[in-house]
Every structure is written in structure tokens, then in C-alpha cells.
Amino acid sequence: MGGKRAQEREMMESRQLFATERVAGRAVYRLHAVTVAIGILLVLYYRVTRVPAAGEGRAAWLGMLAAELWYAAYWVVTQSVRWSPLRRRPFRDRLATRYGERLPCVDIFVCTADPESEPPSLVISTILSVMAYNYPTEKISVYLSDDGGSVLTFYALWEASLFAKHWLPFCKRYNIEPRSPAAYFSESDGHKALCTPKEWSFIRDMYEEMTERIDTAAISGKIPEEIKENHKGFHEWNQKITSKNHQPIVQLLIDGKSGNSVDNEGNVLPTLVYMSREKRPQHHHNFKLTESQGNIRVSSVVSNSPIIMNVDCDMYSNNCNTIRDALCFFLDEEMGHKIGFVQYPQNYNNLTKNNIYGNSHQVTNQVLMGGMDSVGGPMYVGTGCFHRREILCGRRFTEDYEEDWKRGIKDKTQESIDEIEEKAMSLAACVYEHGTQWGDDIGLKYGYPAEDIITGLAIHCRGWMSVHNNPPRAASLGVAPTTLAQTLLQHKRWSDGAFSIFLSKYCSFLFGHGKIKLRHQMGYSIYGLWAPNSLPTLYYVIIPSLALLKGTSLFPEITNPWITPFMYVFCVKNMHSLYEALSCGDTLKGWWNEQRMWMVRRITSYLYGFIDTARKLLGLSKMAFAVTSKVSEEDESKRYEQEIMEFGSASPEYVIIATVALLNLICLVGGLSQIMAGGWNIILNSFFPQLILCGMLVITNIPFYEAMFVRKDKGRIPFSVTLASIGFAVLALLAPIV
């Protein structure tokens, strides 16, 4: 009997298209979590039972209690998804054996917004990389969604449609990776052996000539008249068109399903579409949201594939088998019908060795997202995701639901390209959604800047699960911010949007109540609580240091047994954080840089996100969308490669950073002076924890002192910022500790 069951289990496993594994080392983690939780409770008990008398630092003590209560609550939230993270492993070979070429069609959306911050030559490298996936080309449709409505972007795509006839057969003939020409030729020395030098040079020269033409047009802002005659789409633009005032534009540059568009070896090319939804000054355009809705509708009349993938314009394909891997989850016989979307992590190709700005996200990708996978699935992060078309149109999960995998194949019509374009343009009109459920029950949710979070939450609340796939070779690689300003802007935007959602009806604890697990709700709230994290962090990096200078003790004496839980929580949490970082591939210095950026983001980006959200709730400011630039000056790029922090401008965020750094330096020097002048043993015993905390903050802030007082390059902190910071630090020193 047992042998028969084992045989049945083996047969079932052999039919599975993916495996689910639990991450090792969870027993050690759980021991750590339980002991840290006990330590936190003891710290809070100590705070509550030893409140000093009025005039002896009571207000500061209660402030420390409030900050530590917040940290305790947030720690519980973050640990909710760390308890049992999963790792998924697709079986691509089984997919090929079972389905062969009977695979579903896939629509790929590549979104861009501004040709200045997102150069057209960068965008088309991403386009070419996703056109070259290891997948039947007649089943791929690629849409470049240009929210800037720029003729420069359209021109770049037209150039790419011609180059694709040479690039795609070259990629598949030699099975090259990556399939972004920009990335491939930048790694040229390692690839020349795959083909003849003559062919390699021919393709490279063709690519460089194309990018030179595109960059020249982008710099001049004009398309040569003789080029405009090569495609009717250029006539959509005239002198009256602006990025915020233009008609809907849909142009099929390659109609792959007709079978007539082929590469230079006679193979069918993927369908390639340019689209830009209509914008008019009198109509609110909802930023990226309406763009995404328009993509769904326009694609429904062009290709109507059952699976939709979306990527940012700087996230080029780094793994040609990404589509096949994703389909292993959707097509699995046992679990596939429950999966609404497959999320890949965000990875970058331009990170420095030691992650100077803390942008690697490796712990998030491997631990937090894997942890959410164990409680219902990761959230949708806005890029690198495969969705069922039906769930983006509002379908709820039911056990008897069957996907129409032939959709897109059987939907071929005899309509001409002009007829298809005309129908598609009507779906991209700015008034199309008026009086409909688009933005509510259908598509992405309107009204909040982080629409991707709400959309993922709504999908989970409709009964679907999602999976996180983090393959050994990254699915896609993008461009991480290369300056501090870009990094802070990005995190300000994220924290503002996530906090706005947390305070809305779409808060995971409200919207998800009774629909998803409590731990899943907590996982969603991790990012929603980024912004309010700024307040206790700002308190903790200022008040204990000021109290040290003014002789007010806020921690147990070093000889007091109650110091033990404080020391234990501090040491064990940091040791575990270091262990996670190293096990996820970061370096020791990279971990230290991440700790610095953890503090910097909280006292600047998240603080601004908190303030902006509060202003919006009070009706004092309107929601705006900021595009993070993908372009840096040459000097900035050199300093980034050397891991030198970039400041340069007189930004208010830098004033906060410099003020906190100077304040802690002054307090450390003043505190040490008091210790040396007074009774060494007595004072050191009373203020040792504050001295350690202040000293660590000073060590963390060393790059800021260098930028204020040592560096002479253009990336240093401007003198005006230093001067303002000195003034604010002096004002802080005058504040009493009561």
C-alpha cells in the first residue's frame, strides 16, 4: 500500500512544472526571532516601569518609549513574512516536453514617459531584448507605451524595427545572452568567440550607427524630413502636439501575425506596436495608471494574448527563457489555475561592488518576497511581472475557471492594419473610461500614486495567489539610481504612495480583512509604514545624543542587569541583518553602506513622504508623478564608480543629513569631554549606551563630514548647506531635555 502511494506521489511530482522549496536555516531564524521578541518586551517593560520624575528627563524618556513601541510593532510586521520563505524552481524542460510549440501568446508592455530622462536609445535596447526571447516569435507582441507622446521615441522604435531583422536571428543563431544589444556589446570581449569576427563587427557597427542616428535626433529634437517619408506614423506629429496635449496614436510597425513580416533569414518577426494614449489639458490623465489601462484595451484588439508581461523601459531582458519559466507556473496542472501573476525581482546591472546607495534589494528579493510567497504571494511591484489578462480585467478566482490558452492565436482577423489602428485609437481616447468601471473594478486602481500595490492587493483579495520567481540568472536588469538625489527621490515617491494607500480604504488590514491571511496583510503593510518610520528614527538619532551632551541618562547603567535586553536586541538584530546580507550576496562594506542609507532614507525620503501624504489628506497639495532620471553626468558617473557619494546641489534633504551628522559629532565630542573632565568610571557607567549610539552615528556619517569639510570636487556638499546645517545644529543644542 505504501509503495503504491509513493509511486502515485512520484507520478504526480513528475507532472509538476515547478517545485516549491522552503529556505534552509529557518530553525535558527525562529530561535533568533523568539529571543529578540522576549528582549523587546523586557526593554518596553523597563521603559514603562522606570519613568523618571518631572524635570529629570521624563519627556525625553517617554519619547524613547514611544519610538521603541513603534520599532517593536514594525519589527513584528516585518518578521511576519520572514517566518517561512519559499523558493520556486520551474521545470522548463518538462514544459517543452509537454507543450512543445502549443504555447500561449504573450503580450509585452514596455513603458516610457520622457525621452530626456529615459533616452530613446536605452528604451529600444530593452525593446530588442524582449523581442528576442527564446519563444515562438509569432506568439510575441511587444508594445512600446510612450506616455510622453514623443516623435523621437517613435523614430527610435522605427529604427529598432529595421535592426530587429538582423538582431533576432543573430541572437538565436548563437544563443547569446544578454539580448539587449547595448548590454551585449558592452560585454563584447566575452562573446566574440561565439561567431566570426566579421559577423560580430557587422552587427555591432549596424547597432552603433543606429544609436548614433537616434542620439543625434534626440539632441537636435528633430527627425530628418527624408526619414519621415519612410513610415506613415511620422505624420501623426505636428508643431501643435505636446506631451500633454495630443490625440491617441497607435502604429503597428511589425504585424507578426500576418506572417508577411520576416527577418533576414525568413523567420516571422514579433508584432511591434507603438502607442501613446490621448492627453488633453482639461482631462486628468492619472499618470501611469491610465497608460496601463490603455495598454490592456489596445492590445485586446491587436493581439489579445492571455498573458501580459510588463517591464520598465530600462529593464532589459537578461534571461531569454523568462517567458517559458513564467509559463511553468501558469500551466502547472495542480496549482497553475490558482496563480494570477508571476513576479520577478528587480535587479540592476550598474550597482557598485559595495552598493554605495543601498539599491541592491537582495534581502528584499530573496527573503521578504520569498516570505510573502509563503502566505499568499508577493505583491505586484510594477515591473517584471506576468499577469493573466483576465485578472487585470477584474475576474475573480473560482475553482472551475479554465483559461482560454488559444486566445490570441484563434483571434486572427482579416482586418487591415489601418482598421486595427483606428479601432485601437478609439480605446486609447481620454474620454473612453468615463462612466465605466475602468480604474475601479477593471484594470488598475485610480486615485493613488502606487497603483501597482493596490492592483496586486485587489487580485489577492479576489482569491488569486501569486508566486515569486528568482532564477539564478536574473530575468531582467535595469539601471539603479547613481546619485544620492535620484535615490532619495525614488524612495520618497515609493514611501509617499505606499503610505497614502495605508491611510486609505485600500489599507491591507481593511481591504484585505477576511479575504487574505493576517500575515499577508502585514506583509503588504511593510512598505505602507515606511513613511511614518521617519519620525521615531529622527527622534532616535537626535535625542539620545543631545541627552548625552546635557547629562541626561536615557538607558540603564552598564552595570545594571537591565542593560542586557538592550544590548541583546541591538547586537543580535544587527548580527542577523549582517548574516542575511552576506548570505544574499552582499559584502560587509555593502551591508554597512545599507545601514547608512537605511538611516538617510528614513530621515529624508520617508520624512518628505510622510509630510506630503499629510498635506494631500489636508487638501494642501495635489498628487504628482516624478520620473527617476536614467542619465548622469560623466563626472557623476566616475564618482559613482569610485563609490564616492554625490551631493552637489543645495537640496533641503542634504540640510537634514548634514544637521544630524554635525549634531552627533558635537554631542560626541562634548560627551567625551565631560567624561574626561569628571569621574571617568561614574559618568561612563551612566552614559555608556548613549556614547556607543552617538559614536556609531558619527562613524556612519563619516562620508558626510568628508563631503562638507574635505572634498573639493563638484559632488561635495555645498557651503550654503553646511552653513545652514551648522545653524540648525546650534538651534538644536539650545533645546532643553526635559
User: Which residues have CB under 8 Å from 536's CB, separation 6+?
Assistant: 66, 67, 68, 70, 71
- What residues pair up with 242 in beta bridges, in sequence order? 245
**What is the C-alpha separation between 326 and 95, in angstroms, rounded?**
10
State residue 525 phi and psi, 5-degree precision: -80, -10
Active site residues: 147, 452
- The contacts of residue 230 (CB under 8 Å, 6+ apart) are 158
Counted residue by residue, the chain has a size of 738
Q: Kindly state the DSSP code that residue 135 receives in the 8-state scheme.
A: S
d(CA 305, CA 517): 31
Rg of the chain over Cα atoms, rounded to whole angstroms, equals: 28
β-bridge partners, 387: 308, 341
- Going by the DSSP 8-state scheme, the letter that residue 321 receives in this structure is T
Dump the DSSP string for 221-290.
T---HHHHTT-GGGGG--TT-BTTBB--EEEEEE-GGGS--B-TTSPBPPEEEEEE--B-TTS--TTHHH
Contacts of 235 (CB under 8 A, 6+ apart): 228
CB neighbour class for 281 (10 Å; exposed up to 12, middle 13-18, buried from 19): exposed
Three-class SS state of 621: coil
How far apart CA 701 and CA 571 sit, in angstroms, is: 20
**Alpha helices (runs of H) in 438-562, residue ranges in sequence order:** 451-461, 484-502, 508-511, 518-528, 534-540, 543-550
3-state SS string over 138-159? HHEEEEEEECCCCHHHHHHHHH
The three cell numbers locating residue 385:
511581472
In the numeric block, the cell 532643553 is attached to 736
CA separation for the pair 29, 82 (Å, rounded):
9
Q: Please say whether the beta carbons of 635 and 711 come within 8 A.
A: no
CA neighbor of 697 nearest in space, from 685, 689, 686, 707: 689
The Cα–Cα gap between 641 and 675 comes to 41
